[in-house]
Amino acid sequence: MDFEGFHALTEIDLELEKGLLVGLIGPNGCGKSTMLKCISKIHEPTSGEISVDGTDISSMKPIEAARLVASVPAESGPTFGLSVMDMVMLGRYPFVDKIWWENPEDESMARKALQTFGIDHLRRKRVSLLSSGERQRAMIAKAYVQEPKLMLVDEPTSHLDMKYKLQVMEYLQSMAKADMTVMVAEHDISLMARYCDLCIIMKNGKIVTIGDPKEVIDEDLIRDVYEVDSRVGLDADGEIYVLPKKYIEEAK
């Protein structure tokens, strides 16, 4: 992926199985969000091919690709007074075949999603009045009703407290187990290591390594990718944790 001569992504070659929760990890500017935007057709790749469920989406119209790929951005953006129910119903837009399209099946699917993510009681509330955790769940519910094969989630826990960080990751994990591939770009390495089946580590627009987080995340990797000294270990439950200690001074 090039931007006027700048190579944002290079040598990206990967294949993901369905039913996985995949963590996309790396420092700011490494290409995580650009990769998600290429897959969701917000950016058009300058070379290569992107296939989802065996279908090349490169030549698809965005609305066609939205039947295969759902995207949850880091910020909801302007909501123009939409209620939570209205916002979630927008996830059914890729399947619209007429102007007045809110049929009972769409409404039932939206209500089920609201119940699944614990926000049905907020369905009449304006999105702009939601807390960060509620808004994040509403955006995930909107993507969920698209019935995608691949869900892309950009920094889902960046503004959340500990409880909602865990809650959102558990929702995403359960969605992956229900035969949907979920790719999450996130800065919280310990959180990704705990919940993800697979981690993709990026630096400078390239993939450094891919694998089970317990196998690929270590102190040498954190030092190389983030330029930070850290302690990486397992807690009493066998869960991996990453404790940053200090950043590495650049040589003068």
What is the pTM (predicted TM-score) of this model? 0.91
Residue ranges per domain, the chain?
A: 1-68+150-252, 77-147
Pairing relation of β-strands 198-203 and 206-211?
A: antiparallel
pLDDT for res 159: 83
By C-alpha distance, which of 130, 201, 126, 212 is closest to 164?
A: 130
Predicted confidence (pLDDT) at residue 98 exceeds the cutoff of 70: no
Contact present, 106 and 140 (Cβ < 8 Å): no
Report the phi/psi class of residue 103: left, alpha or beta, with left for phi > 0 and alpha for psi in -120 to 50: beta
Give residue 70's pLDDT band: very low, low, confident or very high (50, 70, 90): very high
**For the chain, where are the alpha helices, taking DSSP H only?**
32-39, 62-65, 84-89, 104-116, 132-144, 162-177, 189-195, 213-216, 219-226
CA distances from 21 to 81, 101, 152, 154, 235 (A): 33, 32, 10, 13, 21
pLDDT at residue 152 above 60? yes
> What pLDDT score does 76 carry?
75
pLDDT level of residue 251 (50, 70, 90 thresholds): very low
Burial class (CB in 10 A: 0-12, 13-18, 19+), 173: middle
Strand order in the sheet with 206-211: 69-72, 150-154, 181-185, 21-25, 198-203, 206-211
Structure tokens at 206: 């390239």
Assess whether pLDDT exceeds 70 at residue 217.
Answer: yes
**Whether the predicted pLDDT of 127 surpasses 90:** yes
The predicted pLDDT at position 6 comes to 54
pLDDT value at residue 252: 44
Mean pLDDT of the chain, nearest integer: 90
Architecture of the domain delimited by 1-68+150-252: 3-Layer(aba) Sandwich (3.40)
Q: Which range, of 3-7, 27-31, 59-63, 201-205, averages the lowest pLDDT?
A: 3-7
What pLDDT, on the 0 to 100 scale, is given for residue 200?
97
Average pLDDT over every residue of 75-104: 83
What is the model's pLDDT at position 227?
Answer: 95
Please, which residues have CB within 8 angstroms of residue 117's CB and are 6 or more apart in sequence?
A: 137, 138, 140, 141, 144, 171
pLDDT for res 158? 84
More confident residue, 199 or 5: 199
**For residue 1, what pLDDT band results from cuts at 50, 70 and 90?**
low
DSSP state of 244: E
Instruction: Give helix 162-177 / helix 132-144 axis angle, nearest 10°.
Output: 10
Residue range 86-108: mean pLDDT, rounded:
83
Position 100 scores a pLDDT of 58
Least confident window among 21-35, 41-55, 174-188, 205-219: 41-55
Q: Which residue has the tokens 């330029």?
A: 227
Rounded mean pLDDT, 189-201: 96
- Which range (141-150, 155-164, 180-189, 190-199) has the least confidence? 155-164
**SS3 (DSSP) at 69:** strand
pLDDT at 157 over 80: yes
Under 8 Å between Cβ of 219 and 58: no
Closest alpha carbon to 83 in 29, 35, 121: 121
